[in-house]
Amino acid sequence: MASNMEPKDNNLLQTPEQENGSRLKQFSPGHVRKLGMTRKMRERRDLKEDENPEEKARKHKEQELKPLYKELLYTIAHKMGYSSTNKVYTDGQLHQYIKEAFTMTTSEHDSLSKKVQSTEPPVYCLMATVKEAKGILGKDVTGFSDPYCLLTILADEEESRTRSSRAKPCKSVVKDAVSDDKIYQTDIKKQTLNPIWNQTFILEFEDIVGAGFHLEMWDKDEEVSLSQKFEDIKTNFDSLRRMIKEAKKEKGTDDFLGNVVIKLQDLPCTEDNWYNLEPRTETYPDRGQCHLNLKFIHKARDGTLSAGRSAYINYCGILQQFVQAYISKEKSSAPWKGALCGEAETLLEFYATQNDLSPFLQDLAKWVAYSKLYQSLEVDSSLLLQQLTCIEYHWRQQELPYQQKQELGDSLHGFLQYGLCLVAKYRDIFPPTSSATPKLHTLLRILVQICKTQAFQKLNPAQFELHDEVFDAIQRGTQEWFTIKKGLHQPMTKDLSEIVGALSSLIGEVQEDIKHNKDMWNRVFVSAVQVDVFTVVYKKFDSLLAKEVRETLSLIEGQMEQALANSLFPVYLSLQAIHKDKAFLQTRGLLELTNFQEGFREALPYWLNQAFSTTQDRVERAVQVDQLQPLQSGAVPIKHSSSAVDLVACIQPICQLWEQLSWLDPEEAFMLMVKLTEDVCKIVVTYCQILKKRVRTLSENSDPGSAINMLCVVVNDLEHLRSVLTQLPRQLNWAGLRDRTQNVIGDSQFHNTLPSQLQQAQDVLGKEIRSALNTLGKKLNKDIETHVRSMSTRRRIPSKSTEDAAAPLMRYLEQELKYMNENLVQENFNSLLTPMWENSVKSLYQVATKHPQQEGLMVYCQRLLYTLQCLEQSFHAEGNGLPLNTLHSEEYKTLKGHLTNNSLSSQQLVEKFFKRKIREQNEYSGEKYGAVTLLASYRRSDQRLRVEVLNAVNLLPMDSNGLSDPFVQLSLEPSYMFPEVEPRSTQIKSCDLNPLFDEAFEFMVSLDQCQNPGACLVVTVLDHDILTSDDFEGEAFLALEDIPGVAGGKKGDQLDSLLDATPGQMRRPLMHPKPNEDSILRLLESRKGERETQAFVKKRRQREKQSQEGIQQL
């Protein structure tokens, strides 16, 4: 260590290990680094704490700075050569720089300069290292040479005097210029053209001005035997010329190979370069090169300047002072990257060169200085890595003195300890930011690099596992950090809520720290030293937190209340989040916080109650401020009101509570889910109740239209809520709970509990929606009834047309239905349409059936029928409304039939009556009352309808003898279509149930008459009685258009093809009418003022009385 090397160095440059006892033990690295950010140097702690700072600064300058200052003044005064830096500085510039760097006053500078001027000057020397040569001439007969070098320093007058004293020019200068004691010779290298020497010589000189460095390279000439020379000639005839030349020169004369001459004034203070060997003649101009290292050094340097300190220690002190001065002057917040000003680099180079400090010692000094500065200033870590690389390189190349070895070992070990101290405090020193974490990574790389260097392994033979040391430092630092945080969050009183709050704050800090370790620091430690800091920290916190939680919960046991439970909830959430992070652990094991939830079981009911009561209060407030207006209209309308949105937002925290709790015990988790679902359903039911109250309150002072609009919004709110409830199983993840509880909760219990709860709430919502729709429908139906009643202004003579009378109702429906469609969700709109349609049909039916007088009934029913048709179109809306199968209900069909019939005239009703009879005839099957066979045709040429009655079969026995006296009556109906045609009858066939008639009848009727809808031939079979009226055997109906010759075209169309129409034989079963079942007859019967109509009705009623259908029913 430096203090062992020089007893008088006054600890100018302490190693990190030396300072551990003073600096690191009293100040944390975080504190040191914080001071480093302000660019202020810390005072060393080896002085008394109560010493005056000014006195300490004065002593520091006197004992440490002034000796170094004198060394620099001496270096400037006796500098030789120039610096390798690009710029050359004058003495004045260098003096000014060191004055500023060492904060010396002018008087102090002048005083110290005088002292330096009075010292003894050094001995100026040039240290010349002859390393090697290449490509030199081969002077021997073998083609090689035996080279050696002569070195000296000659003044210009000595060289010129030597040259002038010779009678003839000579190649050599060095041999004859100075005495032998000033000439230095290298070793002779045998038979080579690329000799390697690596020999160093120190050449003294008095004055650099006019002096030059001379190097001459010679080939050593030695006597060889005659037989050896002949042998060389035999093997190499090319050497014959050399042999002849050799014979001419004097015995023992060496051959000149070349020289290097350099003016000392042209040399830098240190240089390592290849120089060309120059010839004395032009015979062989290319003589190769010589590799030299030249450096100006001092010998006998005055030792009183720095109180006997070694040059190495002084160099360290000067370097440190220059770095501090540079950093202070720059005032940059960025770390120092190793740059110095040109004056500083020049002076350091001069000082190291003059004192012959090797590159190894210079790099060692930089390492020691930089590692020391790293502890107090912001120094870029890459500098330390660079210096470690240099030291490792030099360590392999050369040996260090013992003391420097010890210093290097202490420095490396001390920095390791300091680095581990920083690692323990990494949270404070290297916060989780993008700018700080790279510094931590570089520090760890430095520690790794230190442990990998051969110097550390050689100088610190004790076992040192960096991985284990970092692991221990992290654990130790985590414990210290936790203790500090615990102290910061210590409760001021013994109040339980305050104790819980302190614990919550502490756990929050731990949670954040775990997150930073996982997301930021872990990558740094794993990549640099393969230490999973997240796992180390997590397990340490697990044990520390488990102890704190157990202690706190033991204080609360038996004293739980709502406020205390509320304060415990953040604690639970933080522990839950920490517990989930265990998934990222690289090594698994039993954790103390695994079952932490058990300690919070007592607080769980309070948490549920708090969530329920808070949500219910928020729902009530939301409804109180709701104006029951749609939130948004336009292209993307929102048809529900603000309270529906607020309710969904209020329910979400309950769903989030389930996720936050993440209760581990499956059976308890199921019960918890039951409770949460029950609470949500209660809130939904409560919302329905208070929403009904709200709409009643707002409707009291509003017009009917506004009331209907608010009802629409209420329906939409409830429908929106129903859709939200449908998503509840997914939001609460019932499927995941089912998987967790399969082993403890049966399927029947699970499905009979949760879904039934939800279904009950859905039923309540459905009931309320139907109730609201019913209320809405009633309001609309009332208006519809009013419009229906007002459609006829006068009974006898209506004052309006049918379209005009129905127009107000249509406009009302269009307006209301349009509004409903725009402001109700589609499902509810459809739900509203159905009862509206049913009530509309019912209203129309009631109005139609309660018409007080017969007068004007037909016109009134025509209006109602037109109204019904318009309503049908409105509610169907071209397929966008109710489907036709819903519209065409039984009530609709009854109403439409009633209105249709009442809208027709008596003749139209009679016509419709016969159409129905024809249809019944065509659909009738069997011959229950017998049958009649006809042969019929129509001749268009003479407009004759020919009907031939062939026979009748299976007639009913109407007489007491079991037989009948049948005859057939033919009539064309309706009678108003055939006013001039009289009925025809066949002859009577006595006592015969299967009579054969074979009688033909012709009717003069036009084709148009025959082709009229409803025109038919009525065939009536009667039993002739003499004393009483004839008995009714049955009747059959034949549409005239079905008779050959009638169908196929109008009169005159394709006449030729129709003249001879073949008669068609037709067998028709006889039918009996059902008494009092025909609605048309009842309607005709009500029209008392029409004599012909009443005669028709009377005739048909007579047939009904004679019908066997009535007897069978009885």
Q: Kindly report the three-state secondary structure assignment for every residue of 626-680.
A: CCCCCCECCCCCECCCHHHHHHHHHHHHHHHHHHHHCCCCHHHHHHHHHHHHHHH
- Tell me the average pLDDT of the chain: 83
- Residues 6 or more apart whose CB falls under 8 angstroms from that of 209 comprise 265
Q: Is the pLDDT of residue 214 over 70?
A: yes
Report pLDDT digits (tens) over 672-718. Answer: 999 999 999 899 889 888 888 888 888 887 777 777 788 888 888 88
Comparison of pLDDT for 318 and 882, the residue scoring more: 318
pLDDT band for position 897 (cuts 50, 70, 90): confident
pLDDT score for 970: 95
- Separation CA 723–CA 213 (nearest Å): 102
Q: What is the pLDDT of residue 226?
A: 52
Mean of pLDDT values over 867-879: 81
Q: Please say if the pLDDT value at position 200 is more than 70.
A: yes
**Encoded tokens for 565:** 């439970």
872: its two tokens: 């049908």
Interior/surface letters 995-1031, b for 16+ CB within 10 angstroms, e for the rest = bebebebebebebebbbeebbbbbbbbbbbeeeeebb
Residue 555, classed as helix, strand or coil, is helix
Q: How many CB atoms lie within 10 A of CB 1089?
A: 8
Amino acid at 306: S
User: What whole-number distance in Å separates Cα of residue 683 and Cα of residue 643?
Assistant: 13
DSSP state letters, 382-411: HHHHHHHHHHHHHHHH-PPPHHHHHHHHHH
pLDDT band of 34, cuts 50, 70, 90: very low
Q: Does residue 8 surpass a pLDDT of 70? A: no
Q: Cβ distance 931 to 1068 under 8 Å?
A: yes
Look at the block and give the residue holding tokens 């009101």: 641
pLDDT(192) > 90: yes
Q: Is the pLDDT of residue 814 over 80?
A: no
pLDDT of residue 937: 92
Res. 16 pLDDT band, cuts 50 70 90: very low
In this structure, the strands spanning 289-299 and 123-134 are antiparallel
pLDDT for 743 beyond 60: yes
Ramachandran assignment for 1078, one of left (phi > 0), alpha (psi -120 to 50 degrees), beta (any other): beta
Asked if residue 503 lies in contact with residue 552, where contact means CB atoms within 8 angstroms, the answer is: yes
**pLDDT given at position 12:** 36
pLDDT of 28: 40
Length of the chain: 1114
Task: Please compute the mean of the pLDDT values over residues 1066-1092 and round it to a whole number.
Answer: 84
Residue 763: strand, helix, or coil: helix
Torsion angle defined by CA atoms of residues 154, 158, 160 and 165, in that order, rounded to the nearest 10 degrees: -130
Q: Which helix (H) or strand (E) holds 299?
A: strand 289-299
User: Has residue 216 got a pLDDT over 50?
Assistant: yes
What does the pLDDT average to over 952-975? Answer: 92
Query: What percentage of the chain exceeds 70 in pLDDT?
Result: 87
pLDDT band at residue 636 using 50, 70 and 90 as cut-offs: low
The dihedrals phi and psi of 313, each to the nearest 5 degrees, come to -65, -40
* Contact by Cβ (8 Å): 986, 1010: no
Q: What angle do CA 65, 69, 74 make, to 5 degrees?
A: 155
**With 0-12 CB in 10 A as exposed, 13-18 as middle and 19+ as buried, what is 258?**
buried
**3-class secondary-structure state, position 732:** coil
Mean pLDDT along residues 69-84: 90
Give the separation between CA 987 and CA 952, rounded to whole angstroms.
13
Look at residues 853, 858, 855 and name the one whose alpha carbon lies nearest to residue 907.
858
Phi, psi of 1001 (to 5 degrees): -135, 145
pLDDT of residue 587: 81
> In sequence order, what are the residues at sequence separation of 6 or more whose Cβ sits closer than 8 angstroms to the Cβ of residue 843?
781, 784, 785, 788
CA distance 692 to 682: 16
Least confident of 123-132, 482-491, 655-664: 655-664
Tokens of 633: 């209209």
Sign of CA dihedral 982, 983, 988, 994: positive
CB atoms within 10 A of CB 637: 13
Q: Which of 63-67, 178-182, 438-442 has the lowest mean pLDDT?
A: 178-182
Residues 1022 and 875: their CA atoms lie apart, in Å, by 52
Answer for the pair 616, 686: CB distance below 8 angstroms, yes or no. Answer: yes
The DSSP secondary-structure symbol of 782 reads H
729 to 497, 548, 665, 669, 755: CA distances (angstroms): 36, 37, 20, 15, 9
Strand arrangement, sheet containing 984-985: 984-985, 966-973, 1016-1023, 1031-1039
Residue 1033 and residue 964 in contact, taking contact as beta carbons nearer than 8 Å: yes
Q: Name the amino acid, one letter, at 860.
A: Y
Q: What are phi and psi of 817, to 5 degrees?
A: -65, -35
Q: Six-digit token pair at 321?
A: 């002072």
Determine the residue type at 945.
Answer: L
What pLDDT does 224 receive?
A: 55
Question: For residue 780, what are its two tokens?
Answer: 């609309």
Give the predicted TM-score (pTM) of the model: 0.62
- Left (φ > 0), alpha (ψ -120 to 50) or beta: where does 24 sit? alpha
**In sequence order, which residues have a C-beta less than 8 Å from that of residue 234 and are 6 or more positions away?**
none
Give residue 796's pLDDT.
Answer: 41
Environment class of 98 (CB within 10 Å of its CB; exposed 0-12, middle 13-18, buried 19+): buried
Residue 1083 main-chain phi, psi, to 5 deg: -65, -45
Q: Alpha-carbon distance 774 to 498, whole Å?
A: 56
Q: Where residue 23 falls among pLDDT bands split at 50, 70, 90?
A: very low
The predicted pLDDT at position 302 comes to 84
Residue 581 clears pLDDT 80, i.e. is over it: yes
Tokens of 999: 């009688």
Report the alpha-carbon distance of residue 419 to residue 385 in Å, rounded. Answer: 13
Give the separation between CA 257 and CA 152, rounded to whole angstroms: 17
For the chain, how are helix, strand and coil distributed in percent, rounded to 5?
Answer: 55, 15, 30
Residue 967 has pLDDT above 90, yes or no: yes
425/1065 Cα distance (integer angstroms): 120
Spatial separation of the C-alpha atoms in residues 652 and 885, rounded to whole Å:
42
Burial of 600 (0-12, 13-18, 19+ CB in 10 A): buried
pLDDT digits (tens, 9 = 90+) for 370-402: 888 888 877 888 888 888 888 888 888 888 888
| Reported confidence tier of residue 210, pLDDT bands at 50, 70, 90 | confident
Tell me what the mean pLDDT of segment 341-368 comes to. Answer: 90
Q: Look at the block and give the residue holding tokens 């729902």.
A: 619
Contacts made by residues 36-45, CB under 8 angstroms, sequence distance 24+: 36/375, 36/376, 36/377, 36/378, 37/333, 37/378, 39/327, 39/328, 39/331, 39/377, 39/378, 41/324, 41/376, 41/377, 42/376, 44/11, 44/14, 44/19
- Tokens 């930011």 belong to residue: 433
Judge whether residue 290 has pLDDT over 90: yes
- The kind and range of the H/E element at 565 are helix 562-580
Comparing 655 with 541, which gets the higher pLDDT? 541
